[in-house]
Chains A and B, each alone.
Chain A
C-alpha cells in the first residue's frame, strides 16, 4: 500500500502540493496566449492526472533502495531516467487525448492544436515532475525507515530493561536462597567454620549481584567473579555432586558484555543439569580470546531420561536477546545437546571501551 494512500491527511497534503504546479502550468499557458478557459480546462485535470500517475514513483523507489555508497547509482539512474521518460511521454500523450476530448466543448476548439505545439514542453515538464516524485518518494522511504528504526530501538531498549529486571529477580532466586540458608543452618551445628565461610560467600554474592544490576555493561572478569562466588555456594550445597572445570583465558577478561549475562547460564547448568542428576557431574566453563573475539563455553551433563525442553528456555532466550541487542550480527549464541552434554557457546567482539 502506498503510504500517501494509506492516510487521508497525507494524501490531502500531497494534492495540495500540486496546486502551485497547476497554477504555474496555467500561468505558462496564459503567457503563450491561451485563453483562461483553455488554460484552466487543461491544467487542472492534467495536474490531477499527474498527481495520481506519479504516485507510481514510490513503488520504483521501494524496489530500488538507496545504498550507503554510490554503488548501483548508475543502474538506478538509468531506471529513474527510463521511467521518467516513459511517464513524461504517457502524461503528455494523455494531455493530447484530453485536449481532443475537451475540443467538443464550445470555446475550446483550438485546444488540440495548442497542445500539439506544447507537446515537447509538456513531455519535458512531465519528466521533471516525475523525477521530483522520485526524490519525494525516497524522502518518504527514508522517513519511514527512520521511524521504524526508532520504534525498534525503543522496543529493544524496553526489552533490555525488562530482561535486566528479570535477570535481577532471577538473581535473587528464592529457591537458591532458601536452600543455601538451609545448608547454612545445617553447617552451624556440624562445621561452624564452614558456616561462616558460607555466610561470607552469600553476602559476597548478594553484594556483587546487587551492584552489577545497576550497570549496563561489565567486564567479563566481574561476571566470572560472580559466577565463581555463586558456584562456591552451590558447591557447599551439592558437595561431591558438583565438580567444576574452569579454563580461563586472561586475555578475554577485560571484554565488556551486558551485565548478568553469564549468571543465567550458570544457574541453568545447575538447575537443569547437576541438580537433576543423582550423581551430579562436571560443570565446565571456559573462555578464550581469538582474533578480537571472545569465545565463552558453558557445558553441563543433563538427565537423558528427561525430555529435552523445546526451544530455548526463557533464561537462555533473554541471554540471546541481550547479547544480540548489544553486538548485533557480530555476536553468536549457540546451544545444543550432544552425548548427554548441554552446551552453550557465546561469541562476541572483544571490546574494552563502551
Chain B
C-alpha cells in the first residue's frame, strides 16, 4: 500500500512515519508540508492511503481532499489533527477515521487496520464527498472560501471576493475579481453551505453576493434586474425578489 503523509509540521510527520515503520507493507511514497505539495505527490504516486492534517497553510485538509476528488481520486483517508474532538465525531458515521494528536500506537494501528479493510473491500457505498465532511466539521458555520482547480492551477476564492455564482448544468461559474472560474458542483449544493444572509438565490440560476448589489430595477411587469456595483445586470426572479425583500424588511 502506498501512503502519503500530509502535515505542515515536520515533527508531526515524523510520528506518523515512525508508527508506519512497524507496518512493512505500507510504503511512504512522499511526505508533504502543504496542500499544494500533496496534490502534486498524489498525482505522481497515486496513493492508496493518506494521513491528512486539517489545519495547514494555503489549503486545509478538507480542501486537499476535495481537489483530489475533483480529479476522480479518493484514497482512504485518516485525518490526523489537534482539531476539536466534537467537530470530528460525525466522521465516524462516515467510516472515515481520525487521530487526535497526540495518539497512541494502538490507536494508530486501529486506524490503519480500518483504512486497510476499506481499501481491500469493494466499497459498499461511496464515501461522503469532502465538502460534506468539511461542513460537518464546521458544525453549522457557513463556508468561508471555495477551492477551484483550473488545470494545474489551484485557486482559493475567499467569499468576500466572490461577486456572484451562476448555474451551468453540473457546474457552477464563480465570478471573482473580474475572472470566471468553473467548478463541478451544483448551485443548490453550494447554496446549502453558504451564509444565507450574505448570499442570496436571486434566480433559479444565480446566487448573488448581497454586498455587490446596488439596486433592483423593474423592466416590465414580471421582469426585474439586479444592478451590481460594477454595472453588471443579473435577472431576478419573482421568488428571488421575495427573498431580497424579506431580507430588507427583516433588517
Contacts and interface: CB of A to CB of B under 8 A. Distances in A.
7 contacts: A182-B102, A183-B12, A186-B15, A237-B11, A277-B57, A278-B34, A307-B160
Ranked 10 nearest A-B pairs via Cβ: A182-B101, A178-B82, A186-B11, A185-B102, A182-B102, A183-B11, A186-B15, A186-B14, A307-B158, A278-B34
Contact of B9 (A174, A179, A277, A306): A179
B158 A237 contact: no
A181 interface: yes
A239 B9 CA distance: 8
Given A278-B58, A305-B156, A182 B33 contact: no
Contact of B102 (A175, A181, A239): A181
A204 B53 CA distance: 28
B18 interface: yes
A190 interface: yes
Contacts of B84: 174
A222 interface: no
Interface of A: 174-175, 178-179, 181-187, 189-190, 236-239, 275-278, 303, 305-307
B14 A190 contact: yes
Contact of A276 (B57, B101, B160): B57
Q: Chain A interface mostly helix, strand, loop or mixed?
A: helix
B70 to A, nearest CB: 20
Interface of B: 8-12, 14-15, 18, 33-34, 36, 55, 57-58, 82-84, 100-103, 156, 158, 160-161
A73 to B, nearest CB: 50
A33 B57 CA distance: 97
A231 to B, nearest CB: 15
Contacts of A187: 11
Contacts of A182: 9, 11-12, 15, 82, 101-102
Contacts of B156: 305
A277 B36 CA distance: 12
Given A175-B82, A278-B58, A189 B18 contact: yes
Contacts of A179: 9, 12, 82, 101
Contacts of A303: 57-58
A279 to B, nearest CB: 9
Nearest to A236: B11
A186 B9 CA distance: 11
A27 B185 CA distance: 94
A305 B158 CA distance: 9
B169 to A, nearest CB: 30
B38 to A, nearest CB: 12
A187 B18 CA distance: 11
A241 B160 CA distance: 29
Contacts of B82: 174-175, 178-179, 182
* Residue of A182, A238, A305, A306 ringed by the most chain B CB atoms within 10 A: A182
A306 B158 contact: yes
Contacts of B158: 306-307
A178 B58 contact: no
Contacts of B10: 239
Contact of B33 (A189, A236, A275, A278): A278
Nearest to A183: B11
A310 to B, nearest CB: 9
Given A186-B14, A189-B18, A306-B158, A278 B100 contact: no
Given A175-B82, A186-B12, A307-B160, 10 more contacts: A175-B55, A178-B102, A186-B18, A189-B15, A189-B18, A238-B9, A239-B11, A275-B55, A276-B57, A303-B58
A130 B101 CA distance: 77
Contacts of A239: 9-11
